[in-house]
Amino acid sequence: MSIKIYGDPGSGSLRRVTTAAAVMGINIERMNINLFKGESHTAEFLKLNPHGLSPVLQDGDTIIWEASAINLYLADKADSSLTGRTPSEKWEVLQWMFWSGEQWRIFSTLLFDAWAGETFMDKPKDEAIIQLAISNIRSAAKVLDEHLANRKFIVGDALTLADIDIAAPFSQYKRTGAPFDEFPGLIAWQQRLLETVPAWASTRDEVEKRMAGVLNASNF
DSSP symbols for the chain: -PEEEEE-TT-HHHHHHHHHHHHHT--EEEEE--GGGTGGGSHHHHTT-TT--S-EEEETTEEEESHHHHHHHHHHHHT-GGG-SSHHHHHHHHHHHHHIIIIIHHHHHHHHHHHHHHHHH-PPP-HHHHHHHHHHHHHHHHHHHHHTTT-SSSSTTS--HHHHHHHGGGGTHHHHT--GGG-HHHHHHHHHHHHH-HHHHHHHHHHHHHHHHHHHHTT-
**50 lies in a domain?**
yes
Mean of the pLDDT values across residues 102-124?
91
Q: The domain spanning residue 64 has which CATH number?
A: 3.40.30.10
Q: What is the pLDDT of residues 147-201, one digit of tens each?
A: 999 999 999 999 999 999 999 999 999 999 999 999 999 999 999 999 999 999 9
With 90 as the cut, is the pLDDT of residue 217 above it?
A: no
pTM: 0.94
> Domain end: 55, 80, 105, which one?
80
* Domain membership of residue 36 as a residue range: 3-80
CATH of the domain at 127: 1.20.1050.10
Q: How many domains does the chain have?
A: 2
* Residue 180 forms part of a structural domain: yes
pLDDT recorded at residue 1? 66
Task: Note whether 51 and 68 are same-domain residues.
Answer: yes
Q: Determine, yes or no, domain membership for 88.
A: yes
What pLDDT is stored for residue 53 in this prediction?
A: 95
Residue 220 in domain: no
Q: Do 26 and 132 lie in a common domain?
A: no
Is residue 103 one of the residues assigned to a domain? Answer: yes
Whether 120 and 183 map to the same domain: the answer is yes
Please indicate, yes or no, whether residues 76 and 109 belong to a single structural domain of this protein.
no
**pLDDT attached to residue 177:** 92
- In this predicted structure, the answer to whether residue 219 has a pLDDT above a threshold of 80 is no
In a domain, 214, yes or no: no
Same domain, 192 and 90: yes
- Are 138 and 69 members of one domain? no
Question: Does 45 fall in a domain?
Answer: yes
